[in-house]
Amino acid sequence: MSHTKIKNSLMFLVLTIVTVIGAGCASSQNQVAQRMVSSSVAMSEQNVEVIDLAASLKAGDTSKKEEDQIKYRKIQLDGFEKIDQLKEWLTEIQTKQEGLSATYGLKKDYFKSIKVALQFIDELEASHKSITDIRSEPRFFDLVNLLNALRNRSYSSKEESLEILTAPISLLSHLQRPEVVLPTSASQLPIQQEYSLSPEAYSKELVRSPLFSPNAQVCTYAGPKTGYGFKAGLKILCGDQKLKLKFGPESHTGPFNSRLFRAAGILTPRIDFVSQVEMKYDRKFITEFNSRKQTNTKVTVLGIKVKEKAWNTAIKDPMGVVSAMKLNDGTVLAGAQLAEFKKGLYTSTDKNFTFDESKESKIATVTFTEGSVIEDIDAIEVGPWRFDEPNHMNNEVLRQQFMMSIWVGNNDLPMNNTRLLITKERAEDKTKTVKVIPIYIDVGVGLGVSDSIKGMSSYEIDKMSGTMSETYTDSRGDDPTTQKTKVVFQFINKTPTKIIEKLTFADVVNGLNLMCLYKPEQLNAALLQAGIPTSLAEKATSKLVSRRSKLIKDLELQRQFSHCLHGPS
């Protein structure tokens, strides 16, 4: 019996035991994006949650204590009377906008989203269709996705719970690797197709021009990074472009993944590598640099808290990402001169700063070390979407795109890395169409270790495996007719989702179609555009080609994907 089979069998056994105990105790790349936007799933029920004003709103209370967090009421949209009730609730939220904003800090995008939800309800009711027909309308799924994202927006990432009694199940879910069963009949195999990257996708996405020229303009400070990420960053305004500037190992992998995904029709912001960015000096860059939110893990036993661990509490030095300064007289400080000038520029205690104003007044601009810039998309940002929500868990396009993440080693797909956007498109007759679009806002992880729970990494190409799959025979008993050949992926998802359980052979094949859009030289070109040195770009290209070639052979699809077999696996 293979090592993989033993491991999977033990995993199944332990999971079964723990579950029992727990129960006792308690097409082409351009079509892909369109399919993702318009995909709808027939479901037996649809629940949404809306703010419960009676339980939530406390006028003038801005303490934001745990017990004062937003409360929700759930409604199942299985009849017109329920839709009317939902409309009343949403209208009431609109009328209490000022109080909700003051108490819970809800931003304008929240109430703009509520307004759009009310428009969707009016559209559905104006169709004069039965409730059954309405519940299969794409606009109905837009409404549900929108309200789910609003609920997720208020989800407090600052506190996560770990229940000791269910910890083994949680651990096993982290160790669960995606796998699919090979077809036993030739009729189940896909029809041979060959896709290629269109010239437009190649030029406008894969090797497009940079978002801006760092050497040609000086940016201004636009605000701090305020999310839950561990990487430092800030917001900048460069000309008329709003950008996020991010530092760390994802400065190369984010730009590569973004180009690769967008060229395949996967929706994500444009991301560019920058060797440096010059910004007009602003004191707020220093005082607001550590504005990232803190994450707490609460350890419980039967729901009772026994321990709490805080993460992301380290105070990062703002000057640690500054490589040079230009003074008002034109003098440029770098190296030892910069280090000397930094001394005594300011002192801080618990985010309270005291500046040497005589030094500070001399600074004209600061130049940052290498990083990545992320475009700010002009749209209403509703909130995060979750892979485990039925509309997304059952979305075959998302499962195909998940294969792209496995290929590049992007194993960081939590809710905080997704967003639902509302955009308005104007037609030639000047009518506007409102679209609800799920996107990935952070695709930075990749080109490193993605198959070990002990250590996962980005931009460690030397440590990246040249394979992402292996096969084993799953035989329950001695009967050969019950034996199944399975392909298991050498990939551990940091945030386990049911999308892994839903993965099918067809999903993998369609995911391969996306991977095979790229010739080796095109992959190499995108890697170079991401600022990766030539020698490492060649090595990464070789490993990416090897990973998909090995997968093709494991799936026994050499004939169907002969055009995609480049070099040894």
Domain ranges of the chain: 39-61+68-156, 168-198+442-564, 200-375
**Cα gap 421→435, rounded to integer Å:** 8
Please, which residues bridge with residue 181 across strands? 486
pLDDT at 493: 75
Write the pLDDT tens digit of every residue in 321-362. 999 999 999 999 999 999 999 998 998 877 788 999 999 999
Number of CB atoms found within 10 A of residue 107's CB: 10
Mean pLDDT for 205-214 is 92
pLDDT at 476: 66
Tell whether the model's pLDDT for residue 315 goes beyond 90.
no
Tell whether the model's pLDDT for residue 82 goes beyond 90.
yes
pLDDT at 329: 97
Please, which residues bridge with residue 480 across strands? none
Give the ranges where 264-395 is alpha helix by DSSP (H): 283-287, 335-342, 357-360, 390-393
Q: Is 22 helix (H, G, I), strand (E, B) or coil?
A: helix
Tell whether the model's pLDDT for residue 63 goes beyond 60.
no
Q: Residue 233, Cα to own-chain centre: how many angstroms?
A: 17
Of 195-199, 202-206, 227-231, the range with the lowest mean pLDDT is 227-231
**Cα gap 216→239, rounded to integer Å:** 10
Backbone angles phi, psi at 229, to 5 degrees: -65, 160
Query: Which residues, 6+ apart, have CB-to-CB distance to 390 below 8 Å?
Result: 41, 43, 46
Q: How would you write 26-95 as a 3-class SS string?
A: CCCHHHHHHHHHHCCCCCCCCEEEEECHHHHCCCCCCCCCHHHCCCEEEEECCCHHHHHHHHHHHHHHHH
Tokens of residue 208, six digits: 């497009």
Give the angle subtended at the CA of 33 by the CAs of 31 and 34, to the nearest 5°. Answer: 65
Of 29-38, 312-321, 518-527, the range with the lowest mean pLDDT is 29-38
Write the pLDDT tens digit of every residue in 443-482. 999 999 988 777 778 999 999 999 999 998 887 666 666 6
* Contact between 180 and 501 (Cβ < 8 Å): no
- The mean pLDDT of the chain is 83
The pTM of the full predicted model, rounded to 2 decimals, is 0.85
Torsion angle defined by CA atoms of residues 266, 268, 274 and 277, in that order, rounded to the nearest 10 degrees:
160
